[in-house]
Amino acid sequence: MSTHASAVIAAGAVVPASCTIGPFCTIGPEVVLGENCVLISHVVLDGRTRIGSGNTFHPFCSIGVPPQDLKYGGEPTETVIGDNNTIRENVTISRGTVGGGGVTRLGSNCLLMTCAHIGHDSQVGSHCILANAATLAGHVVIEDYVTLGAFCPVHQHCVVGKYAFIGGGTIVTQDVLPFSLTSSRRENKAFGINKVGLARRGFSPERLKRLQKAFRLLLAAKLNTSQALEKIKEIEGDDAALLAAFLERSERGVIK
Protein backbone atom coordinates (compact mmCIF):
# COMPACT_ATOMS: atom_id res chain seq x y z
CA MET A 1 0.00 0.00 0.00
CA SER A 2 1.18 3.52 -0.84
CA THR A 3 0.33 5.53 2.27
CA HIS A 4 1.65 8.96 3.14
CA ALA A 5 3.22 9.23 6.58
CA SER A 6 0.70 11.91 7.65
CA ALA A 7 -2.37 9.76 6.91
CA VAL A 8 -4.30 8.29 9.86
CA ILE A 9 -5.82 4.85 9.33
CA ALA A 10 -7.71 3.53 12.36
CA ALA A 11 -7.31 -0.03 13.57
CA GLY A 12 -10.09 -2.12 12.04
CA ALA A 13 -10.25 -0.26 8.73
CA VAL A 14 -9.89 -2.47 5.64
CA VAL A 15 -7.55 -0.86 3.11
CA PRO A 16 -6.20 -3.12 0.33
CA ALA A 17 -2.55 -2.88 -0.70
CA SER A 18 -3.60 -1.64 -4.16
CA CYS A 19 -4.99 1.61 -2.70
CA THR A 20 -3.14 4.93 -2.59
CA ILE A 21 -3.65 7.04 0.54
CA GLY A 22 -2.37 10.60 0.22
CA PRO A 23 -1.31 13.13 2.84
CA PHE A 24 -3.54 14.07 5.77
CA CYS A 25 -6.28 11.56 4.97
CA THR A 26 -8.31 10.05 7.82
CA ILE A 27 -9.96 6.62 7.58
CA GLY A 28 -12.25 5.46 10.39
CA PRO A 29 -12.27 2.02 12.03
CA GLU A 30 -15.41 0.73 10.25
CA VAL A 31 -14.46 1.76 6.73
CA VAL A 32 -14.00 -0.95 4.09
CA LEU A 33 -12.24 0.13 0.89
CA GLY A 34 -12.20 -1.84 -2.35
CA GLU A 35 -9.21 -2.38 -4.62
CA ASN A 36 -7.39 0.42 -6.45
CA CYS A 37 -9.00 3.36 -4.69
CA VAL A 38 -7.12 6.67 -4.58
CA LEU A 39 -7.42 9.22 -1.78
CA ILE A 40 -5.50 12.24 -3.09
CA SER A 41 -5.20 14.27 0.13
CA HIS A 42 -7.19 15.58 3.14
CA VAL A 43 -9.98 13.01 2.58
CA VAL A 44 -12.20 11.91 5.48
CA LEU A 45 -13.85 8.47 5.36
CA ASP A 46 -15.95 7.86 8.46
CA GLY A 47 -18.66 5.62 9.94
CA ARG A 48 -19.83 2.27 8.63
CA THR A 49 -18.78 2.92 5.06
CA ARG A 50 -18.36 0.29 2.34
CA ILE A 51 -16.65 1.44 -0.84
CA GLY A 52 -16.13 -0.52 -4.05
CA SER A 53 -13.10 -0.57 -6.33
CA GLY A 54 -11.53 2.07 -8.53
CA ASN A 55 -12.91 5.15 -6.78
CA THR A 56 -10.98 8.44 -6.69
CA PHE A 57 -11.49 10.90 -3.82
CA HIS A 58 -10.21 14.45 -4.26
CA PRO A 59 -9.07 16.80 -1.48
CA PHE A 60 -11.37 17.79 1.38
CA CYS A 61 -14.27 15.48 0.57
CA SER A 62 -16.04 13.91 3.57
CA ILE A 63 -17.71 10.54 3.11
CA GLY A 64 -19.87 8.63 5.60
CA VAL A 65 -20.02 11.54 8.03
CA PRO A 66 -22.92 11.90 10.51
CA PRO A 67 -26.18 13.08 8.93
CA GLN A 68 -27.28 16.69 9.23
CA ASP A 69 -30.38 15.61 11.12
CA LEU A 70 -31.06 16.73 14.70
CA LYS A 71 -32.81 13.41 15.39
CA TYR A 72 -29.63 11.43 14.74
CA GLY A 73 -28.22 9.99 17.95
CA GLY A 74 -25.15 8.11 16.77
CA GLU A 75 -26.95 4.97 15.61
CA PRO A 76 -24.84 2.53 13.52
CA THR A 77 -26.11 3.50 10.08
CA GLU A 78 -24.26 3.08 6.79
CA THR A 79 -22.91 4.55 3.57
CA VAL A 80 -22.48 2.28 0.53
CA ILE A 81 -20.58 3.34 -2.60
CA GLY A 82 -20.10 1.34 -5.81
CA ASP A 83 -17.18 1.24 -8.26
CA ASN A 84 -15.29 3.70 -10.47
CA ASN A 85 -16.73 6.93 -9.10
CA THR A 86 -14.93 10.28 -9.22
CA ILE A 87 -15.65 12.36 -6.14
CA ARG A 88 -14.25 15.86 -6.41
CA GLU A 89 -13.21 18.52 -3.90
CA ASN A 90 -15.41 19.32 -0.88
CA VAL A 91 -18.09 16.75 -1.69
CA THR A 92 -20.04 15.54 1.35
CA ILE A 93 -22.00 12.29 1.64
CA SER A 94 -23.86 11.73 4.92
CA ARG A 95 -24.60 8.28 6.28
CA GLY A 96 -28.19 7.15 6.77
CA THR A 97 -30.60 7.48 9.65
CA VAL A 98 -32.70 4.84 11.37
CA GLY A 99 -35.91 6.57 10.33
CA GLY A 100 -34.87 6.71 6.68
CA GLY A 101 -33.81 3.10 6.20
CA GLY A 102 -30.29 3.39 7.57
CA VAL A 103 -28.31 3.53 4.32
CA THR A 104 -27.13 6.29 2.00
CA ARG A 105 -26.16 4.77 -1.36
CA LEU A 106 -24.18 5.86 -4.42
CA GLY A 107 -23.97 3.57 -7.45
CA SER A 108 -21.08 3.18 -9.90
CA ASN A 109 -19.45 5.29 -12.62
CA CYS A 110 -20.70 8.60 -11.24
CA LEU A 111 -19.08 12.04 -11.25
CA LEU A 112 -19.71 14.23 -8.23
CA MET A 113 -18.30 17.68 -8.92
CA THR A 114 -17.00 20.21 -6.41
CA CYS A 115 -19.22 20.90 -3.37
CA ALA A 116 -21.96 18.43 -4.33
CA HIS A 117 -23.85 17.00 -1.35
CA ILE A 118 -25.73 13.72 -0.92
CA GLY A 119 -27.91 13.92 2.17
CA HIS A 120 -28.81 11.10 4.53
CA ASP A 121 -30.79 8.11 3.22
CA SER A 122 -30.58 9.31 -0.39
CA GLN A 123 -30.24 6.69 -3.11
CA VAL A 124 -28.22 7.67 -6.18
CA GLY A 125 -28.00 5.30 -9.14
CA SER A 126 -25.16 4.66 -11.59
CA HIS A 127 -23.74 6.78 -14.44
CA CYS A 128 -24.99 9.99 -12.81
CA ILE A 129 -23.42 13.46 -12.84
CA LEU A 130 -23.97 15.92 -10.01
CA ALA A 131 -22.47 19.24 -11.11
CA ASN A 132 -20.90 21.84 -8.81
CA ALA A 133 -22.90 22.49 -5.63
CA ALA A 134 -25.81 20.24 -6.60
CA THR A 135 -27.37 19.25 -3.28
CA LEU A 136 -29.67 16.40 -2.33
CA ALA A 137 -31.71 16.71 0.84
CA GLY A 138 -32.44 13.56 2.82
CA HIS A 139 -34.45 10.70 1.31
CA VAL A 140 -33.95 11.73 -2.34
CA VAL A 141 -33.91 9.09 -5.10
CA ILE A 142 -31.81 9.74 -8.22
CA GLU A 143 -32.23 7.00 -10.82
CA ASP A 144 -29.56 5.92 -13.37
CA TYR A 145 -28.05 8.21 -16.03
CA VAL A 146 -29.28 11.46 -14.46
CA THR A 147 -27.44 14.76 -14.93
CA LEU A 148 -28.14 17.32 -12.22
CA GLY A 149 -26.93 20.82 -13.09
CA ALA A 150 -24.89 23.19 -10.95
CA PHE A 151 -26.51 24.80 -7.89
CA CYS A 152 -29.58 22.55 -8.03
CA PRO A 153 -31.15 21.75 -4.65
CA VAL A 154 -33.50 18.74 -4.56
CA HIS A 155 -36.22 18.65 -1.90
CA GLN A 156 -36.68 15.74 0.51
CA HIS A 157 -38.44 12.64 -0.87
CA CYS A 158 -38.27 13.78 -4.51
CA VAL A 159 -37.54 11.22 -7.23
CA VAL A 160 -35.57 12.08 -10.38
CA GLY A 161 -36.29 9.59 -13.16
CA LYS A 162 -33.81 7.79 -15.43
CA TYR A 163 -31.97 9.78 -18.11
CA ALA A 164 -33.33 13.13 -16.87
CA PHE A 165 -31.27 16.27 -17.45
CA ILE A 166 -31.90 19.15 -15.03
CA GLY A 167 -30.58 22.59 -15.94
CA GLY A 168 -28.39 24.57 -13.58
CA GLY A 169 -30.05 26.54 -10.80
CA THR A 170 -33.32 24.59 -10.90
CA ILE A 171 -34.99 24.18 -7.50
CA VAL A 172 -36.54 20.70 -7.54
CA THR A 173 -39.59 20.37 -5.28
CA GLN A 174 -41.51 17.71 -7.25
CA ASP A 175 -40.58 14.51 -9.05
CA VAL A 176 -38.69 14.91 -12.34
CA LEU A 177 -39.91 12.89 -15.32
CA PRO A 178 -37.57 10.22 -16.72
CA PHE A 179 -36.00 11.11 -20.09
CA SER A 180 -36.95 14.77 -19.62
CA LEU A 181 -35.10 18.04 -20.11
CA THR A 182 -36.24 20.08 -17.10
CA SER A 183 -35.12 23.58 -16.26
CA SER A 184 -36.10 26.80 -14.52
CA ARG A 185 -36.65 30.18 -16.06
CA ARG A 186 -39.34 31.94 -14.08
CA GLU A 187 -40.78 28.62 -12.98
CA ASN A 188 -39.79 24.97 -13.28
CA LYS A 189 -40.91 23.29 -16.49
CA ALA A 190 -40.25 20.11 -18.42
CA PHE A 191 -39.32 21.09 -21.96
CA GLY A 192 -39.74 17.66 -23.55
CA ILE A 193 -37.27 14.81 -23.85
CA ASN A 194 -33.50 15.09 -23.34
CA LYS A 195 -33.00 14.36 -27.03
CA VAL A 196 -29.25 15.02 -27.28
CA GLY A 197 -28.42 13.14 -24.10
CA LEU A 198 -30.56 10.15 -25.06
CA ALA A 199 -28.99 9.97 -28.53
CA ARG A 200 -25.56 9.96 -26.91
CA ARG A 201 -26.70 7.02 -24.79
CA GLY A 202 -27.57 5.03 -27.91
CA PHE A 203 -31.31 5.61 -28.19
CA SER A 204 -32.43 4.87 -31.74
CA PRO A 205 -34.54 7.35 -33.77
CA GLU A 206 -37.52 5.03 -33.31
CA ARG A 207 -37.19 5.07 -29.52
CA LEU A 208 -36.86 8.85 -29.52
CA LYS A 209 -39.94 9.20 -31.74
CA ARG A 210 -42.05 7.08 -29.38
CA LEU A 211 -40.81 9.06 -26.37
CA GLN A 212 -41.57 12.35 -28.10
CA LYS A 213 -45.11 11.14 -28.72
CA ALA A 214 -45.51 10.24 -25.06
CA PHE A 215 -44.21 13.62 -23.91
CA ARG A 216 -46.48 15.51 -26.30
CA LEU A 217 -49.44 13.72 -24.75
CA LEU A 218 -48.26 14.60 -21.26
CA LEU A 219 -47.02 18.17 -21.79
CA ALA A 220 -48.68 19.64 -24.87
CA ALA A 221 -52.03 17.93 -25.42
CA LYS A 222 -55.15 19.27 -23.75
CA LEU A 223 -55.28 16.29 -21.40
CA ASN A 224 -54.99 16.05 -17.65
CA THR A 225 -52.34 13.73 -16.23
CA SER A 226 -54.73 10.79 -15.80
CA GLN A 227 -55.97 11.07 -19.37
CA ALA A 228 -52.44 11.39 -20.72
CA LEU A 229 -51.35 8.37 -18.69
CA GLU A 230 -53.96 6.15 -20.34
CA LYS A 231 -52.81 7.27 -23.80
CA ILE A 232 -49.13 6.72 -22.91
CA LYS A 233 -49.91 3.14 -21.88
CA GLU A 234 -51.03 2.48 -25.46
CA ILE A 235 -47.59 3.36 -26.89
CA GLU A 236 -45.35 0.40 -27.66
CA GLY A 237 -41.98 -0.14 -25.99
CA ASP A 238 -40.35 -0.29 -22.58
CA ASP A 239 -39.64 3.46 -22.42
CA ALA A 240 -43.29 4.47 -22.50
CA ALA A 241 -44.06 1.77 -19.94
CA LEU A 242 -41.29 3.13 -17.67
CA LEU A 243 -42.69 6.65 -18.00
CA ALA A 244 -46.22 5.44 -17.21
CA ALA A 245 -45.03 3.51 -14.17
CA PHE A 246 -43.14 6.57 -12.91
CA LEU A 247 -46.28 8.72 -13.18
CA GLU A 248 -48.35 6.15 -11.33
CA ARG A 249 -46.01 5.83 -8.35
CA SER A 250 -45.16 9.54 -7.98
CA GLU A 251 -46.17 10.79 -4.54
CA ARG A 252 -45.15 14.46 -4.84
CA GLY A 253 -46.51 15.07 -8.33
CA VAL A 254 -44.30 15.70 -11.36
CA ILE A 255 -42.86 18.81 -12.98
CA LYS A 256 -44.75 19.32 -16.28
- Are the C-beta atoms of 232 and 244 separated by less than 8 Å? yes
pLDDT score recorded for residue 39? 98
Tell me the C-alpha to C-alpha distance, in Å, between residue 205 and each of 114, 194, 236: 35, 13, 14
Report domain extents, the chain. 2-142, 198-249
Segment 174-195 shows an average pLDDT of 86
Q: pLDDT (tens digit, 9 = 90+) per residue, 96-151?
A: 999 999 999 999 999 999 999 999 999 999 999 999 999 999 999 999 999 999 99
For the purposes of burial, counting CB atoms within 10 Å of the CB of 191, is it exposed (0-12), middle (13-18) or buried (19 or more)?
A: middle
pLDDT of the residue at 185: 64
Average pLDDT score over residue span 10-22: 97
Residue 44: is its pLDDT beyond 90?
yes
Q: Pick the closest to residue 44 from 58, 52, 55 (CA basis).
A: 58
The per-residue pLDDT for 256 is 84
pLDDT of residue 50: 98
- Nearest by Cα to 162 from 180, 175, 144: 144
Please write the tens of the pLDDT for every residue from 206-251: 999 999 999 999 988 888 999 999 999 999 999 999 999 999 999 9
Cβ-contact 57, 39 below 8 angstroms = yes
Is the separation of the CB atoms in 112 and 87 below 8 Å? yes
Does the global pTM surpass 0.85? Answer: yes
- Confidence class of residue 190 from pLDDT cuts 50, 70 and 90? confident
Of 16, 112, 110, nearest to 62 by C-alpha is 112
Q: How far is CA 10 from CA 60, 63, 75, in A?
A: 18, 15, 20
Superfamily (CATH) of domain 198-249: Udp N-acetylglucosamine O-acyltransferase, C-terminal domain (1.20.1180.10)
When pLDDT is averaged across residues 23-52 and rounded to a whole number, the result is 98
Residues involved in catalysis: 120-121, 138
Q: Which homologous superfamily is 2-142 in?
A: Hexapeptide repeat proteins (2.160.10.10)
pLDDT at 188 exceeding the cut of 80: no
